[in-house]
Structure 1
Amino acid sequence: HILYLPSLVISATKILQKKKLWKKKNSNVKKHHAIILPLPLQGHINPAVNLSLKLASSKNFTITFLTFEFLHQDLTRAHPYIDTHIDIFSQEKQGPNGVDIRYRVFSDGLPLKFDRTGKLDEYLEWYMSGGMFDQVEKEIEEVVLKSNPKVDVLIIDTFYPWASKIAKKFGLRLASFWTEPALVFNLYHHVHLLKLHGHLDCSDTRKDPIDYIPGVQSIKQHDLMSYLQDKDVSTNMHKLIFQAYQDVRKADYVLCNTVQELESDTISALQALMPFYAIGPIFPPVSPDKAVPTSLWTESSCLEWLGSMPNGSILYVSFGSLANFSKDDVTEIAYGLIESNVDFVWVLRPRTVLHEADHLLPVGFEEVVRGRGIVVPWTNQIAVLSHPAIGGFLTHCGWNSVLESVWYKIPMLCFPIFTDQFTNRKLVVDDWKVGINFGNGQPLKRMEIASQIKRFMSKENGDELRENIDVVRKILGNALEDEGSSSKNIDLFIEQLI
């Protein structure tokens, strides 16, 4: 043991020296104060919270995190231990090393009881007409006027089409926060080229591959985001997207939850146009059981059941926080799981079938699968994906799910439903080869579902996918190292703020 003592002393000395240098270096760093406003959707809230923690804990930032009253109400309902008057960051703010994150709740201007999901078009009307803008502007004005240290940057979701107007009014640097891959951003950014070449908003839309977008070698029509596959692009949702992409051109920076090495050509093309920083993957900085409570639904734990199952044997089935199905789709998936004989955890979210009551599953389903499958309304996805019993993920290909699945080395069975998920699927299946297709755009049929699940969970198929996912996972990990691309990019962004 004495032989190892000198190396231990040297290592300890180096660590202490490094800490002193870090403290000395950061004592001279300018204290920035950022207002962060995510889009009011689960998949946008999570990375915004994690970015807030990253900036506040290691980058000398004060953060004012804004959220709407209806979201805070959902959070407190989903986490009964949270007092309605206590913010979600309260635990991280405690102690001598606590972060400086100020949590502010304000109204979006509509009654709390207004059904923002069921009446989406009405909500978008409010969003677009200026009703929400007035509320956000008033809240940001109060923060800017009363805060110390002084606010100097607004980090706001790209889908707010009036972000530049607010930033300009209060003299703030504008960082547009993009929570999807760079490929999706690039395609939206070049909508004008899609229209010019007849791949969008034409009476006879072209179906051939698209090979003229800078940074994209070639992409098929069916791999575009669902909003760019639609024939009618005059809806409120399309107006919102197109206006947001005009506004983002005025941003001082774009922060993207991706990794430079995974989308190098696309990112290089975007960097030729704007200050575009790949800073992902943006994950919670602590273990899942200590993470900031961000779930909008009560989480059911299935870890005890998973603990009784063999490693790599369980298929995790979840289609995210937003996608909706028909009742027939739910029925076919249920019978497909029965016929596959594969053990599973299925997240069947509330309102998976919009405007339908509960009892979506076939009569007797849970009795038939008892012992080899469980259904929960919502769960902690990171806790599940990180469990050794999980062997595969039947997913909608939401971007957070894709990154988390790669991080925990779980192959994906890809069933995109709408928005960016079709384009994410292309990256997962065609480019990185860490997943396979499910459904292939055809109506769901139970026996085909069963066959695909069996093939996906087979050892032969799984081994090949895992070899590929090991490579991609290493790229993610390397990006977050001190000298990794994402770490360097976030530091470069902060340098540009000075």
Structure 2
Amino acid sequence: MENTKEAQLQERIGRRLIFFPLPLQGHITPMLQLANILHSKGFSITIVHTNLNSPNPANYPHFTFYHIHDGLSETDQEASKTDILSLLSLLNVKCVEPFKQALAELLADNSGDPSACLVSDAILHFTSAVCKSLEIPRIALRTGGVCSFLAFAAFPLLLEKGYLPLQDDRLEDPVMELAPLRVKDLPAIKTSNPENLYELLQGMIQETKASSGLIFNSFQQLEELALSKLDQDFGIPIFPIGPFHKHFTTSSSSLIPEDHSSISWLDKQAFNSVIYVSFGSIAAIQEKDFLEVAWGLANSKHPFLWVVRPGLIHGADWLEPLPENYLEMLNGRGNIVKWAPQLEVLSHPSVGAFWTHCGWNSTLESICEGVPMICSPCFTDQFVNARYVSHVWRIGLQLENGFSREKIEMAIKMIMEKKQGGEFRERALDLKEKANLCLKPGGSSCESLQSLVNYISLF
């Protein structure tokens, strides 16, 4: 029955959408989720992707995949592991010609549905000029939150006012133009080439303003003021249709194999008792900080599921820095895995809190499950997200000024045992309910999605 309905939808629309994700885990996942959402609305889908971090086509038999060479040398790829800014800048230069050729071929292909538009990651701003030259509309997807996007858009003003470049003696100063952010919360990257960062962001903002529309993996009730401000400033159609992952269950787009034994371990733990710890797919920490995390978790006396991704610790392959007999000492109270099925983990009844780097996907997933957060942001928009978690939505706390086992133990006990932790949880559950309601008929994201479908159908 469902297949018949889908076939009728596709017959009615008969248009293809071309997607081009930024080849990083936190960007590929929401792009493929969006592709699934729009496929369910009757569009056929083609995914253009680079050889760096290619998605697995076997997980998406209903999509067409088109591979392009990103032009990155082995040296480029190796350097990009420690210098994200360099990678983003290189992709915006080296992908231009291969992408232009790919898009031209796809537009000339008459064997399938005609192409309605390109949906590209906002950071891949070069796609704007390519689309203009080939006369196809471009819609940008911003995979982060609306509040952090506003902060990026404010960089010229922040430079003019002297908030940037970051200065150690001003880090605690409030940024009056972006309350409640402080200077230390601005989404800057520590780099020896700040001009490269400003150039990249200028390209992202300018070409987003020049696009035919902007999609967000967020919802109206979560970032209402920021959406209103963005609508005034940008003057293009904006579609907050998130949370993407709650529209329906889709295939995993994880680039790292997920360890599902973590779920059977969680099954044995008490309700709301476990701290889930994961710092995402890119962040790396020093060995001394890793050891503080390890002892902070152990000393808290709470069960924990800890994702230690290979590459998380500078100079180590995996768990070599752990003290001898550390896991044995915990007597089953701690479980360390290389990667976990995060959506399943966060929705598990035994998980009581999420210690996170505050990437947008993780932040939104935690909100959607009503799980309060301990925030340890590492770079860019994560600082903005952490500030909103702790001071606007008030569903968690931020660990500031580095890692120390004493602070970690105190934070865990506060969120798991104290009255304030219970208040975080109540507010998180309230936001969970709002996230669920926005996707129902008449809800803000449901209405915004229908507006997006109608809008694209006019191209």
Correspondence 1:377 to 2:342: no
Correspondence 1:225 to 2:184: no
Partner of 1:318: 278
Partner of 2:14: 31
Correspondence 1:309 to 2:269: yes
In structure 2, give the amino acid aligned to 1:133: V
SS of residue matched to 2:374? strand
Correspondence 1:161 to 2:125: yes
Q: Is the 8 A contact 1:258 1:280 kept in 2?
A: yes
What is the Cα deviation at residue 278 of structure 1? 1.1
SS of residue matched to 1:322? coil
SS of residue matched to 2:66? strand
Instruction: Mark the CA change 1:421 to 1:119 in structure 2 (over 3 Å): closer, same or farther.
Output: closer
Residues 402-423 of structure 1: CA deviation (Å, up to 9, x unaligned) = 1111111111111111111110
Residues 8-46 of structure 1: CA deviation (Å, up to 9, x unaligned) = xxxxxxxx9xx99x8999588533311111111111111
CA distance in 2, matches of 1:328, 1:23: 53
CA distance in 2, matches of 1:295, 1:27: 28
Partner of 1:13: none
CA distance in 1, matches of 2:171, 2:407: 31
Moved more, 33-42 or 190-199: 190-199
Residues 183-228 of structure 1: CA deviation (Å, up to 9, x unaligned) = 111121122221222222488979643333xxx555322222133x
Partner of 2:217: 257
Partner of 1:423: 384
CA distance in 1, matches of 2:218, 2:159: 27
SS of residue matched to 1:351? coil
Moved more, 111-120 or 185-194: 111-120
In structure 2, give the amino acid aligned to 1:239: E
Correspondence 1:487 to 2:446: yes
RMSD (CA atoms):
2.7
CA distance in 2, matches of 1:62, 1:112: 34
Partner of 2:45: 63
CA distance in 1, matches of 2:343, 2:439: 18
In structure 2, give the amino acid aligned to 1:32: R
Q: Is the 8 A contact 1:87 1:103 kept in 2?
A: no
- 1:272-311 map, 5 Å: 272=232, 273-274=234-235, 275-283=237-245, 285-287=247-249, 291-301=250-260, 302-311=262-271
Instruction: Mark the CA change 1:235 to 1:321 in structure 2 (over 3 Å): closer, same or farther.
Output: farther
Correspondence 1:131 to 2:131: no
Instruction: Mark the CA change 1:108 to 1:343 in structure 2 (over 3 Å): closer, same or farther.
Output: same
In structure 1, give the amino acid aligned to 2:58: D
What is the Cα deviation at residue 364 of structure 1? 2.1
SS of residue matched to 2:124? coil
Residues 240-295 of structure 1: CA deviation (Å, up to 9, x unaligned) = 223222222211101011111221121111112322221111106544xxx41311
In structure 2, give the amino acid aligned to 1:283: H
SS of residue matched to 2:163? coil
CA distance in 1, matches of 2:50, 2:212: 25
CA distance in 2, matches of 1:390, 1:207: 33
In structure 1, give the amino acid aligned to 2:103: I
Q: Is the 8 A contact 2:303 2:334 kept in 1?
A: yes
CA distance in 1, matches of 2:355, 2:10: 47
SS of residue matched to 1:35? strand
Q: Is the 8 A contact 2:23 2:52 kept in 1?
A: no
Instruction: Mark the CA change 1:27 to 1:352 in structure 2 (over 3 Å): closer, same or farther.
Output: closer
- The one of 8, 24, 35 aligned to 1:52: 35
Partner of 2:58: 87
What is the Cα deviation at residue 300 of structure 1? 1.0
Partner of 2:362: 401
What TM-score do the two structures reach when normalised by structure 1?
0.83
CA distance in 2, matches of 1:210, 1:120: 26
CA distance in 2, matches of 1:40, 1:360: 30
What is the Cα deviation at residue 111 of structure 1? 5.0
- The one of 283, 294, 306 aligned to 1:346: 306
SS of residue matched to 2:16? strand
Q: Is the 8 A contact 1:118 1:354 kept in 2?
A: no
Q: What 5-or-longer segments of structure 2 have no aligned partner?
A: none
Partner of 2:419: 460
Correspondence 1:432 to 2:393: yes
CA distance in 2, matches of 1:121, 1:381: 26
CA distance in 1, matches of 2:404, 2:301: 16
What is the Cα deviation at residue 377 of structure 1? 0.7
In structure 2, give the amino acid aligned to 1:43: G
SS of residue matched to 1:312? coil
In structure 1, give the amino acid aligned to 2:69: S
CA distance in 1, matches of 2:306, 2:11: 50
Instruction: Mark the CA change 1:43 to 1:206 in structure 2 (over 3 Å): closer, same or farther.
Output: closer
Identity %: 28
Instruction: Mark the CA change 1:483 to 1:300 in structure 2 (over 3 Å): closer, same or farther.
Output: same
Q: Is the 8 A contact 2:275 2:353 kept in 1?
A: yes
What TM-score do the two structures reach when normalised by structure 2?
0.90
Q: Is the 8 A contact 1:346 1:374 kept in 2?
A: yes
Partner of 1:40: 23
Moved more, 137-146 or 304-313: 137-146
Partner of 2:290: 330
SS of residue matched to 1:260? coil
SS of residue matched to 2:294? helix
CA distance in 1, matches of 2:405, 2:146: 35
Q: Is the 8 A contact 1:50 1:284 kept in 2?
A: no
Q: What 5-or-longer segments of structure 1 have no aligned partner?
A: 1-15, 77-85, 94-100
Q: Is the 8 A contact 1:199 1:207 kept in 2?
A: no
SS of residue matched to 2:254? coil
- Which one has a bigger Cα radius of gyration? 1
Partner of 1:83: none
What is the Cα deviation at residue 127 of structure 1? 2.5
